């Protein structure tokens, strides 16, 4: 999506009916610049999947976005405070402890893990 040129997006939008795009898909194409701006601000392709998930949360009108990635939370704050290239980010980006606090859980149970032990997914 990052390499899709603006003129190609316009061609897709103009031919939306002929190629069977829904109004949601057309509007998503029109908001690709939002995604591009966040990717540019992330400044690293390793963060593009997280930015894509945030973009889909934005497109689908979600109130919140839960992530384990502190860098994404910092990126969103930085973009929200940007004065030059402002974009609206509606979902609140939360880490698990943030969500628990929002839900009124002041003292969550400790995570039962041993330090210096590797856990396989099937062990959890």
Higher pLDDT, 64 or 87: 64
- What does DSSP assign to residue 123? G
Q: Please say if the pLDDT value at position 122 is more than 80.
A: no
Residues whose CB is less than 8 angstroms from the CB of residue 37 and which lie 6 or more positions away in sequence, other chains included = 79, 85, 87
- Give the model's pLDDT for residue 75: 92
- Give the model's pLDDT for residue 117: 86
Report yes or no on whether pTM surpasses 0.85. Answer: no
79 contacts 52 by C-beta, under 8 angstroms: no
Residues whose CB is less than 8 angstroms from the CB of residue 66 and which lie 6 or more positions away in sequence, other chains included = 94, 95, 96, 99
């Amino acid at each position: 999506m990052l390499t899709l040129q603006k003129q190609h997006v316009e061609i897709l939008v103009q031919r939306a009916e002929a190629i069977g795009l829904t109004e949601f898909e057309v509007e998503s194409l029109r908001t690709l610049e939002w995604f591009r701006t966040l990717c540019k601000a992330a400044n690293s392709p390793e963060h593009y999947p997280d930015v894509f998930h945030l973009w889909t949360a934005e497109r689908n009108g979600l109130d919140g976005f839960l992530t384990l990635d502190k860098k994404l939370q910092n990126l969103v704050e930085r973009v929200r405070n940007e004065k030059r290239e402002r974009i609206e980010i509606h979902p609140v980006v939360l880490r698990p402890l943030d969500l628990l606090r929002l839900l009124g859980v002041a003292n969550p149970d400790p995570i039962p893990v041993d330090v210096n032990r590797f856990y396989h997914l099937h062990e959890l």
